[in-house]
Chain A
Amino acid sequence: MSVTGIVVSPGIAFGKVLHLNFYHEKVDYRLIPTNQLSDESKRLKQAFANQKQYLEQSLSKLETDSTHASLIEADLLLLEDEDLILEIDATISKLQVSAAVAIERIFGHQADELAALDDPYLANRAEDVLCLSRRLIARLNGAQHINLSQLQQDTIILAADLTPAEFAMLPLEHIAGIVLNTGGVTSHTAILARNAGIPALLSCQYEPANIANGTEVVLNGVDGELVIAPNQAKIAALSSLKQQDEARKQQLLMLKDLPTQTRDGKAIGLLANVGSLNDISHLADVGAEGIGLFRTEFMLMNTNTLPDEKAQYHFYCDALHLMAGKTFTIRTLDVGADKELPCLASMQEDNPALGLRGIRYSLAHPELFKTQIKAILRAANHGPIRLMFPMINQVEELDALFEHIEQCKAQLTEQEKGFGELSYGIVVETPSAVLNLQSMLPSLDFISIGTNDLTQYTMAADRTNPALTKQYPSLSPAVLTLVQHTIDIAHQNKVRVSLCGELASDPKIAPLLVGMGIDELSVNLSALLEVKSALRNINYQTCLSQAQHALKLTRIDELTHYINGIN
């Protein structure tokens, strides 16, 4: 039997289950006789004092100033708030309820108020406040903390949730894995588990009653499943998967913190293409220097309603938080053609690839575009953001986009919402963008070549049409020439050139692109270390001569043959 979950910290772990939760959180809503109210009041103070002592104890195990410690401090500050205790106390006597009911009520109000504020940090605090309230109630119900010092080797922790304080108290050397019912990639536990290198599966809907303490389980953090009481065949399969996974990882991981440069020291930016917060949370696993392409349409694909400015703002802030100051390149909404969204009215077009897509769609629906821009501008107040526009052909399109952006800034100023400045770029993905590049460069900080669409539009071959694979080769002389032309013009104007198409993710082609002058490659996460390995094993001189040779080839088959022949 197995249950799926979100992998927030990868790896495969074998171990025995330990349920680490206080299933004592039931609240008794019966009224309390007047003569017992003072007892409830005492119990309230005792619960606060116990929880405070517990938090102080876990805090003493941590380095001060870690994010981890500051989260615990925040809880401590609340527990020390005399006004809060007075308010809960007053609720006990006013409503004649137990301490638990009063805590649930007052903390619940607080969490609602925090969640209603337009701030992602405080929205997270609302979760923390609720968690603290549950722990206080568990204490009132007599919950004792499990004595973790008795833990056996290779324990897999199963819990509904886990606070930073509880995480701090775990004897990590005995913990093989962590599985939680709740949480997502930005949750504190995810970050803590990843930092500790402990495989973790979150939002895993296992049934606690069906898994007794001590049950053998395997946390498969490659495929995202918790396997309960596996049979011999399954154990063998997972063991060999674990071995392979670790061997391959070890090999490539040695490159993780090494610079991306050729053998003779030519440095290249190596960024990642991502589409979700989950992807971002895995950037550090492969040592990505940042994000070269964040596809914002993916966050809209599983939703029936378009996220409003606030929701998008929170989303970008979460992303920035995970990015911690690294390069973060957002591509504005790129809908149309092969990317249909359930939350947008579908358009009937005879030829969608040549239709209303990318910024054409944005300019036709300015309110949609401006909602996104305002959210991004506001997020830029919290960290650096590069913004790029897809499907640009002409300088006047760029003018129109900038005009909208100015209007967004004016609106934000009027609403007294803070915002930051952005760096601007375009995705060069049509032949016309290449030919018109000179006129657009003065207002740009960078460009990114999107070779997938550039190939489709240069070859006039629909990349989704299986009958046209010959007409849509991964590399063609025409596209190579356009790419070289783009790089040359951009460099003459001192503008940085990135390349975010699939070509960059091919370890055989990446060195060739470097030889052509590309400043940074943006690749798929899974390919990043392979590309780094390829670049670190080649001399820049070789890249240059590969580029020179490839650009002379006039036939697709010659080019393919040449690339395949490079080892």
Chain B
Amino acid sequence: MYEKVVTITAEHGIHTRPAALVVKKARSFPCEIWVQCNGKEVSAKSLFKLQTLGLYKGVSVKVIAKGEQAQQAVQEVSELIITLS
């Protein structure tokens, strides 16, 4: 299992459209991927779930992955979260 903590810098947080990019990226990996934030943990592959996390600017999130390509998945998903604006 791999994990990494990153902070959201996107001015308006990660809402619908940027969240959809995260979902798309997550779905490109075969492993299971979760995002943990504010005490909740949801699959990074579901926009429906990701929306309810409250991903505001300045909030720290933990990206967790388990299984095939988990390390690369954590790396790429967390990098995407940082670069979203």
Pair from one complex: yes
Spell out A's residues near B (CB within 8 Å).
70, 73-74, 77-78, 81-84, 87, 110, 113-114, 117-119, 121-122, 125, 381-382, 416, 418
Q: List chain B residues, Cβ under 8 A from A81.
A: 23, 46-48
- Which residues of A are found within 8 Å of B2, using beta-carbon distances? none
Residues of B within 8 Å of A113, CB to CB, are 52
* Contacting residues, chain B, for A382 (C-beta < 8 A): 12
Contact B15 A77 (CB under 8 A): no
> Which residues does chain B contribute within 8 Å of A83, judged by CB atoms?
43, 45-46, 48-49
Query: In the complex, A74→B12 CA distance in Å?
Result: 15
Which of B45, B49, B51 has the most chain A CB atoms inside 10 A of its CB? Answer: B51
**Interface core residue of B12, B16, B47 (most chain A CB under 10 Å):** B16
> What are 16 A-B contacts with C-beta separation under 8 Å?
A73-B16, A73-B17, A74-B16, A74-B17, A77-B16, A82-B45, A83-B45, A87-B48, A110-B51, A113-B52, A114-B52, A121-B12, A122-B54, A125-B16, A125-B51, A382-B12
Task: Judge whether A84 and B46 touch: CB under 8 Å.
Answer: yes
Among A81, A114, A125, residue most surrounded by chain B Cβ atoms (within 10 Å): A81
A496 to chain B, nearest CB (A): 28
Interface size class of B (residues with CB under 8 A): 20 to 34
Q: A117 with B52: in contact, given A78-B47, A81-B46 (CB under 8 Å)?
A: yes
**What are the residues of chain A within 8 A of B80 when measuring CB–CB?**
none
Give the 10 A-B CB pairs with smallest separation, nearest first: A83-B46, A113-B52, A74-B16, A84-B48, A117-B54, A77-B20, A81-B48, A81-B47, A418-B58, A77-B47
Please pick, from A82, A114, A381, the residue contacting B51 in the complex, using a CB distance under 8 A: A114
Contact partner of A119 among B13, B23, B43, B45, CB < 8 A? B13
Given known A-B contacts A110-B52, A418-B57, A121 and B15 have beta carbons under 8 A apart: yes
B48 touches A110 (CB 8 A): yes
Of B13, B17, B51, B58, the residue contacting A70 (CB under 8 A) is B17
- For residue B46, give the distance in angstroms from its CB to the closest CB of chain A: 4
Closest residue on chain A to residue B58 by CB atoms: A418
A113 and B43 alpha carbons, distance in the complex (Å): 16
8 Å CB interface, B31-85 against A: 43, 45-49, 51-52, 54, 56-59
- Across-interface contacts of B23 in A (CB, < 8 A): 81
Contact B48 A119 (CB under 8 A): no
Flag if A418 contacts B48 (CB, 8 Å): no
* Chain B residues, CB < 8 A from A74: 16-17
Most chain B beta-carbon contacts within 10 A, residue among A83, A87, A382: A83
Please, how many angstroms separate the alpha-carbon atoms of A82 and B16 in the complex? 16
Expressed in whole angstroms, the Cα–Cα distance for A114 and B15 within the complex equals 11
The residue of chain B having its C-beta at the shortest distance from the C-beta of A80 within the complex is B47
- Hey, which chain A residues are within 8 Å of B20, CB to CB? 77
Kindly list chain A residues whose C-beta atoms are within 8 Å of the C-beta of B49: 83
For B1-30 the 0/1 string (1 means CB < 8 A from A) is 000000000001101110010010000000
Residue of B nearest to A110 (CB): B48
Across the two chains, which residue of chain A brings its CB closest to B19?
A77
Question: B58 to chain A: which residues have CB within 8 Å?
Answer: 416, 418
A418 near B56 (CB under 8 angstroms)?
A: yes
Chain A residue at minimum C-beta to C-beta distance from B40: A113
**Residues of B with C-beta under 8 A to A78:** 47-48
Chain A nearest Cβ from B20, distance in angstroms: 5
Query: Which of B16, B17, B48, B58 has its CB near the most chain A CB atoms (within 10 A)?
Result: B48
Return A16 CB to nearest CB of chain B, in Å: 38
- A74 CA to B17 CA, complexed, in Å: 7
Instruction: Report the Cα distance A84→B45, complex, angstroms.
Output: 10
CA distance A78 to B51 in the complex (A): 10
Chain A contacts for B52, CB-based, 8 A: 110, 113-114, 117
Residues on the B chain within 8 Å of A121, using CB: 12, 15
Q: Across the interface, name the chain B residue whose C-beta is closest to A70.
A: B17
The CA of A110 and the CA of B15, in the complex, are separated in Å by 14
CB distance from A106 to the nearest CB of B (A): 8
What CA separation (Å) do A87 and B43 show in the bound complex?
Answer: 12
Shortest Cβ distance from B52 into chain A, in angstroms? 4
A119 to B16, CA, bound (A): 13
CA distance A204 to B22 in the complex (A): 41
Among A77, A84, A119, residue most surrounded by chain B Cβ atoms (within 10 Å):
A77
Contact A118 B16 (CB under 8 A): no
Min CB–CB distance B36 → chain A (angstroms): 16
Residue of B nearest to A77 (CB): B20
Which chain A residue lies CB-closest to B51?
Answer: A114
In the complex, besides A77-B20, A418-B57, 4 extra interface pairs with C-beta distance below 8 angstroms are A73-B16, A77-B17, A114-B52, A125-B51
Closest to A117 in B: B54
The reply to whether B46 and A119 form a contact with Cβ atoms under 8 Å apart is no
* Cβ contacts under 8 Å, A82 to chain B: 45-46
Q: How far is the CA of A122 from the CA of B20 in the complex (A)?
A: 15
Output the nearest chain B residue to A87 by Cβ-Cβ distance.
B48
B47 and A119 contacting across the interface, CB-CB below 8 Å: no
Quote the shortest CB–CB distance from A309 to chain B (angstroms).
15
